Chains A and B, each alone.
Chain A
Amino acid sequence: MSDFAELRLDGVRRRFGGRDALTGLSLTIRRGEFIALLGPSGCGKSTALNCLAGLLPLSEGSIWQDETRLDTVPPERRGFGMVFQNYALFPHLSVRRNVSFGLQMRRLPRDEVRRRTDEAIKLVRLEEHAAKLPGQLSGGQQQRVAIARAIVLEPALVLMDEPLSNLDAKLRLEMRTEIRRLHQSLGLTTVYVTHDQEEALSLADRLVVLRDGRVEQIGTPQELHNRPANRHVADFMGYRNLLPMKVKAVHGATVTVDGAGLTLDGTAVGDVAPGDDVVAGIRPEDLLAGEHGVPVTVEVVEYQGREFAVEARTGEGVALHLRALERPAVGERITVTAAPSRVLVFAS
């Protein structure tokens, strides 16, 4: 059961009380891949994960592991490891017995249970805590127990449901590296659910962006980062400036848009024609202060280490987010501009 070439989700749909929580999810997961399901809360990403785990039956569609149909198999026979958002460690069992639980359920010989449990505990560096109860551990340690418990079975697929969301910022970065390291060194296949685009971009080989139960885009981190398919994905990928505008002229891939007193040159994503309502997306870091461009008034300045995040407003009252290397004064008037290749124009 544990070896497979690919896992196929085919038109997976899940309804809750007449409402689609997830619809039309088709995805092929190759062995060894790290897939992130990304989206805001309520987008269906956890539903998708629970469907994969077998904890939720599908309303429609099917899941295949190579040529075996999987969606009719109960969770305990799928052999997938799962890390829950609240870890779901068994509070009455020691770390060691939490980790060995799955091995014991498989009725493996005692020596093997002991050896593999030791290995998994060593892998997550919890040797000296093996006899403790989960309640005696810190959040990060509990997290590592949850991971050890899921991977000790050498599962065909590891499912992770926002595993880092309960940790503080520093620990989150450490555990992120840890998860990627485990994925690489053990050759695991992982499906990882998160609402944090930075986490998804840094961990995953491929991302699935979900919104309102639908797939918005599937692609590599680079593809999503540089060429989001629509304004919603762009919004999620850090295009903080999303300006509703109208198309004025089209020259091949370059379009000129205007609206709210601004005129910009940009790159079209999808088909647009003069007169269309569109949304222009620009990242704050692509909006540069310069000689020529749009005059704006600085309103809010936030210090962010290497640079400053600035919110400024145009004469017509449109808010723009940009970066500056030196602290501008509040109320100062500056001009900003963006390279046409960095302005994405989405049909709305």
Chain B
Amino acid sequence: MSDTALRHRLAERGVDRQLLLLVPGLACVLALFVYPFAYGIGLSFQPASGGVLGAYRAFFTDAYQRDTIATTLGLALPAAILNVAASVPIAYLMRGRFRGKRFLTTILVVPITLGTVLTAEGLLNYLGPTGWFNRALMSIGVIDEPVRLTNNYWGVFFSLVITGFPFAFLLILSYLSGIDPTLERAAATLGAGRWQRFSRITLPLLAPGLATTFCLTFVLAFSVFPSAVLVGDPAGSTRVVSIAAYHAAYEAYDYPLGSAIAVIMGVVELVVVAVVLGLRSLFYTGSTGGKG
């Protein structure tokens, strides 16, 4: 009797046998994410020397290591900003229906499928010292010697834009189609011109979506690794955090330092994301009246 009553009370709070469906997923998350993550954090506090915070102290006292944070931010922030900023006008113009929209969207989204290595190879062939780009510029006499656009900051930057833009574009396009188009029409009947309709109505409604998109593309760009090696200058101007972690763990076999760098990397990302989401909460984040 009381057993049945207890079961009913629990079921009202959502506790019943259906919860067992969560078990496989939960097991995977625990075994494949939570445990390794906690293990890595634990490892970062057990360096061979220097006490509990030794690995962190080693990272922050060594300018060569410490500067990787600034280097990575210097790549990831401008790339994420450019990806979001370039996606907005393109997605805005592509809101409506027109002939060839699907083709154009496909072209813009294809880079997602390429992967960093293929993109890097393409960049080396196209933007490299003997690539088409430089040869074309030299043959028309704009420049006398090749412009260096690979194996430095710019190579990695272009790679981040090429792989990050499609993500940003797709996300923003879907956020835009979630905004009811009659809102701009209403603004037009109230005397708002093209720019005012965009800046007063669409942009404020889009802003939370822009913040989310920025966070995602930023995190993608911040963990850059292959392109920093392949089209960058991994020993110098594009020595990013992930390279530092890789060197520590797999070349110096200092797992605690490698783990500490990975944790620092995560914390920097979290700080940036927290700042952006904090700004996002200043905007209206409710329904935008569209199809969602």
| Min CB gap A239→B, angstroms | 35
Q: Is B269 engaged at the interface, CB distance under 8 Å to the other chain?
A: no
**B residues 149-195 with Cβ under 8 Å of A?**
180, 182-183, 185-193
Q: In whole angstroms, how far apart are the Cα atoms of A272 and B183 in the complex?
A: 51
* Contacting residue for A55 out of B189, B191, B200, CB 8 A: B189
* Contacting residue for A102 out of B191, B283, B284, CB 8 A: B191
| Closest Cβ neighbor of A74 among chain B residues | B188
A contact residues around B186 at 8 Å (CB): 82, 84, 88-90, 149
0 or 1 for each of B262-290: is its CB under 8 Å from A? (1 = yes): 00000000000000000000011011110
Given contacts A76-B193, A84-B182, A86-B182, contact A92 B188 (CB under 8 A): no
* Contacting residue for A88 out of B182, B196, B204, B287, CB 8 A: B182
Contact B191 A88 (CB under 8 A): no
A contact residues around B185 at 8 Å (CB): 53, 55, 75, 84, 88
Contact B183 A79 (CB under 8 A): no
| Min CB gap A150→B, angstroms | 8
B contact residues around A133 at 8 Å (CB): 284, 286
Q: In whole angstroms, how far apart are the Cα atoms of A22 and B180 in the complex?
A: 25
Given contacts A91-B284, A91-B288, A91-B289, contact A86 B180 (CB under 8 A): yes
B contact residues around A74 at 8 Å (CB): 188
Q: Is B260 engaged at the interface, CB distance under 8 Å to the other chain?
A: no
| Min CB gap B191→A, angstroms | 4
Contact B191 A86 (CB under 8 A): no
0 or 1 for each of A302-335: is its CB under 8 Å from B? (1 = yes): 0000000000000000000000000000000000
0 or 1 for each of B186-228: is its CB under 8 Å from A? (1 = yes): 1111111100100011001100000000000000000000000
Q: In whole angstroms, how far apart are the Cα atoms of A91 and B290 in the complex?
A: 11
| Closest Cβ neighbor of A80 among chain B residues | B189
| Min CB gap B177→A, angstroms | 16
Contact A135 B190 (CB under 8 A): no
Given contacts A75-B185, A88-B180, contact A153 B190 (CB under 8 A): yes
Q: In whole angstroms, how far apart are the Cα atoms of A90 and B186 in the complex?
A: 9
Q: In whole angstroms, how far apart are the Cα atoms of A55 and B183 in the complex?
A: 12
0 or 1 for each of A64-95: is its CB under 8 Å from B? (1 = yes): 00000000001111111110101011111000
Q: In whole angstroms, how far apart are the Cα atoms of A150 and B187 in the complex?
A: 10
B contact residues around A105 at 8 Å (CB): 187, 190-192, 196
Contact B190 A102 (CB under 8 A): yes
Contact A75 B204 (CB under 8 A): no
- Residues of chain A at interface, number, CB under 8 A: 29
Given contacts A55-B185, A133-B284, A133-B286, contact A92 B191 (CB under 8 A): no
Contact B286 A135 (CB under 8 A): yes
Given contacts A88-B182, A90-B201, A91-B284, contact A79 B191 (CB under 8 A): yes
Contact B205 A92 (CB under 8 A): yes
| Closest Cβ neighbor of A100 among chain B residues | B190
A contact residues around B189 at 8 Å (CB): 53-55, 75-76, 78, 80-82, 150, 159
Contact B287 A135 (CB under 8 A): yes
Q: Is A106 engaged at the interface, CB distance under 8 Å to the other chain?
A: yes
| Closest Cβ neighbor of B208 among chain A residues | A92
A contact residues around B192 at 8 Å (CB): 76, 101, 105
| Closest Cβ neighbor of B182 among chain A residues | A88
Q: In whole angstroms, how far apart are the Cα atoms of A265 and B144 in the complex?
A: 100
B contact residues around A102 at 8 Å (CB): 190-191
| Min CB gap B226→A, angstroms | 41
* Contacting residue for B183 out of A75, A78, A82, A90, CB 8 A: A90
| Min CB gap A84→B, angstroms | 5
Q: Tell me which of A78, A86, A91, A106 has the highest count of chain B C-beta atoms within 10 A of its own C-beta.
A: A91
Given contacts A55-B185, A84-B186, contact A91 B191 (CB under 8 A): no
B contact residues around A78 at 8 Å (CB): 189
| Min CB gap B13→A, angstroms | 29
**A residues 103-125 with Cβ under 8 Å of B?**
105-106
| Closest Cβ neighbor of B183 among chain A residues | A88
Q: In whole angstroms, how far apart are the Cα atoms of A9 and B66 in the complex?
A: 73
**A residues 27-73 with Cβ under 8 Å of B?**
53-55
* Contacting residue for B289 out of A77, A82, A86, CB 8 A: A86
0 or 1 for each of B51-67: is its CB under 8 Å from A? (1 = yes): 00000000000000000
User: 8 closest A-B pairs (Cβ-Cβ)?
Assistant: A92-B284, A102-B190, A88-B186, A105-B191, A82-B189, A75-B188, A88-B182, A105-B192
Q: List 5 A-B contacts (CB under 8 A).
A: A75-B189, A91-B205, A101-B200, A105-B191, A135-B287
For the complex with contacts A86-B180, A102-B190, 7 further pairs of A-B residues with Cβ separation under 8 Å are A55-B185, A75-B185, A88-B185, A91-B288, A92-B283, A92-B286, A150-B189
